[in-house]
């Protein structure tokens, strides 16, 4: 081989290595966005529902707003064959064909399993079949795996009775094992840990290959539960970074149990928390109001900010709270939230946030610039509502 040919070969090899690295480091570079079947369809979800969700993501403009992942949650699983290969159940006649369909729409497909013998809904999970399942997912064209602890707690108790530190090691090893199995397929597959925030998962989630990890038990479609989760994510901001996100659970926007103000608070808070935005409603039957909340581009831009820094609570007075999130270019997102049952004025003091009195303010739900008088901005916030601002110098 001549010197120049060698040079070209070396250049190609380097370029390929750089591309592989770039692919690794950009998997979940910003919090994953998409849809998940559980919050609305739960155990009823079928192939047709997933196709309808994919169609709706495109026709509603959600895909173009960033909602890319179409995630099938629990209850797609059938039985294993004599070789141990997992098959789908009757609700999902052909997973590869479904993946092809979803991909043809410019979307990605996610799936669900767990390290135990059974999923939370009692279906077949991956215990003892991790490599085999990872290969099956890759062959189907899966792009995202939510891996839910569920029955693995039984294995932990069985293998390390009354030994909690050992049980914790077993849990970490189980997540690590599936991570390695996914990596070994060579297909970039986002790895979503679901073990309800136990053992401070944010401290070791990246170590076991998690791109995101649930920080809490399940959300439901009530103000009480959503607010309990969202306003209790204090102190977790330092654990989030590109590729590694805290996950306060999926969105309930549009499922009908909260008011529009409450859903806007949900969306604003999740954006400040750099949370994955996985819509959980029936996308084929969305009201214009639900769609407007889910596709507010200015709020999504906060969630997806390239700096990848999660926000945290900055001030609290009674049941009013101000949460802030640093953004690219020295800007800041500020959520002024009223958790009370009555209206309250909330005041933002620019100097308290490190800005001069001349800082620019924009209301991200009103889509208009607003002005601070003498360096402070006061707004009357209705019960359970929030005002979302972008502050820049």
The nearest distance, CB 210 to ligand GLA, in angstroms, is 15
Q: What letter would DSSP give residue 353?
A: G
State the nearest-atom distance from the C-beta of 334 to ligand GLA, in Å.
30
Write down the catalytic residue from 47, 143, 148, 305. 148
| C-beta separation of 223 from 384 below 8 A | yes
CA neighbor of 37 nearest in space, from 62, 89, 74, 92: 74
Measured CA to CA in angstroms, residue 263 lies from 260, 313, 346, 368 at distances of 5, 19, 19, 20
For 153, how many CA atoms within 13 A lie in the half-sphere containing its CB?
10
- Which residues would be at the binding site for ligand GLA (CB under 6 A)? 38, 73-74, 119-121, 148, 194, 218
218 is catalytic: yes
- Least distance in angstroms from the C-beta of 71 to ligand GLA: 10
Q: What is the closest distance, in whole angstroms, from the C-beta atom of residue 217 to ligand GLA in the complex?
A: 7
Smaller CB distance to ligand GLA: residue 142 or 336? 142
Under 8 Å between Cβ of 32 and 212: yes
We find the least distance from the C-beta atom of residue 118 to ligand GLA, in angstroms, to be 10
Nearest-angstrom CA–CA distance, 393 and 380? 24
Smallest gap from residue 214 Cβ to ligand GLA (A): 7
> What does the H/E/C string look like for 214-259?
ECCCCCCCCHHHHHHHHCCCCCCHHHCECCEEEECCCCCCCCCCCC
Side-chain-side CA neighbours of 8 within 13 Å: the count stands at 4
Residue 116 CB, shortest distance to ligand GLA, in Å, is 12
Q: Which is nearer to ligand GLA, 46 or 60 (CB)?
A: 46
Which residues, 6 or more positions from 63, have their beta carbon under 8 angstroms from its beta carbon? Answer: 57, 105, 106, 107
Q: Give the integer Cα–Cα distance in Å for 63 and 55.
A: 10
Separation between Cα atoms, residue 150 and residue 127, nearest integer Å: 11
Nearer Cβ to ligand GLA (205/326): 205
E strands, the chain, are 33-36, 69-71, 77-80, 86-88, 108-113, 144-148, 190-194, 212-214, 245-247, 277-279, 312-317, 320-326, 332-338, 344-349, 360-363, 368-370, 376-381, 386-392
Count CA atoms within 13 Å of residue 169 on its CB side.
7
Nearer to ligand GLA, 133 or 148 (CB): 148
Select 120 or 227, whichever has its Cβ closest to ligand GLA. Answer: 120
CB of 113 or CB of 310, closer to ligand GLA: 113
Does the annotation count 148 as an active-site position? yes
CA dihedral 182, 50, 294, 28 (to 10 degrees): 10
**Sign of the alpha-carbon dihedral angle for 349, 353, 355, 361:** negative
Number of Cβ within 10 Å of residue 159's Cβ equals: 11
Q: Between 148 and 252, whose beta carbon lies closer to ligand GLA?
A: 148
> CB 121 → ligand GLA: shortest distance, Å?
4
Minimum CB distance to ligand GLA smaller for 121 or for 160? 121
Tell me which residues are annotated as active site. 148, 218
């Amino acid at each position: 081989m001549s010197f120049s040919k060698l040079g070209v070969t070396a250049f190609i090899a380097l370029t390929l290595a750089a591309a592989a690295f770039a692919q690794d480091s950009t998997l979940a570079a910003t919090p994953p966005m998409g849809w998940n079947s559980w919050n609305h369809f739960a155990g009823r979800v079928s192939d047709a529902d997933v196709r309808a969700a994919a169609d709706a993501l495109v026709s509603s403009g959600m895909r173009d707003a960033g909602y890319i992942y179409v995630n099938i949650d629990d209850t797609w699983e059938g039985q294993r064959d004599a070789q141990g290969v997992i098959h789908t159940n009757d609700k999902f006649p052909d997973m590869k064909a479904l993946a092809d369909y979803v991909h043809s729409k410019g979307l990605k497909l996610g799936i669900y399993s767990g390290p135990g013998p059974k999923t939370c809904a009692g279906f077949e999970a991956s215990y003892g079949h991790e490599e085999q399942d990872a290969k099956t997912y890759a062959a189907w064209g899966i792009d995202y795996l939510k891996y839910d602890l569920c029955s693995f707690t039984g294995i932990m108790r069985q293998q390390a009775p009354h030994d909690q530190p050992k049980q914790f090691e077993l849990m970490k090893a189980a997540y690590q094992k599936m991570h390695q199995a996914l990596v070994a397929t060579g297909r970039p597959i986002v790895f979503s840990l679901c073990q309800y925030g136990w053992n401070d998962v944010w401290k070791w989630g990246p170590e076991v290959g998690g791109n995101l990890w649930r920080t809490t038990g399940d959300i439901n479609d009530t103000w009480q539960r959503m607010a309990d989760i969202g306003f209790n994510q204090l102190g977790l901001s330092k654990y989030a970074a590109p590729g590694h996100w805290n996950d306060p659970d999926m969105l309930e926007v549009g499922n009908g149990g909260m008011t529009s103000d409450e859903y806007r608070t949900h969306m604003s808070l999740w954006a400040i928390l750099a949370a994955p935005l996985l819509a959980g409603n029936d996308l084929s039957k969305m009201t214009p109001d639900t769609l407007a909340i889910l596709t507010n581009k200015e709020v999504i831009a906060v969630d997806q900010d390239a700096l990848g820094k999660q926000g945290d609570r900055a001030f609290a007075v009674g049941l009013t709270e101000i949460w802030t999130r640093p953004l690219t270019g020295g800007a800041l997102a500020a959520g002024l939230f009223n958790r009370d049952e009555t209206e309250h004025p909330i005041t933002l003091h620019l100097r308290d946030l490190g800005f001069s009195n001349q800082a620019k303010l924009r209301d991200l739900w009103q889509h208009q610039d607003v002005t601070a008088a003498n360096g402070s901005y006061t707004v009357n916030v209705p019960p359970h509502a929030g005002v979302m601002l972008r502050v820049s110098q």
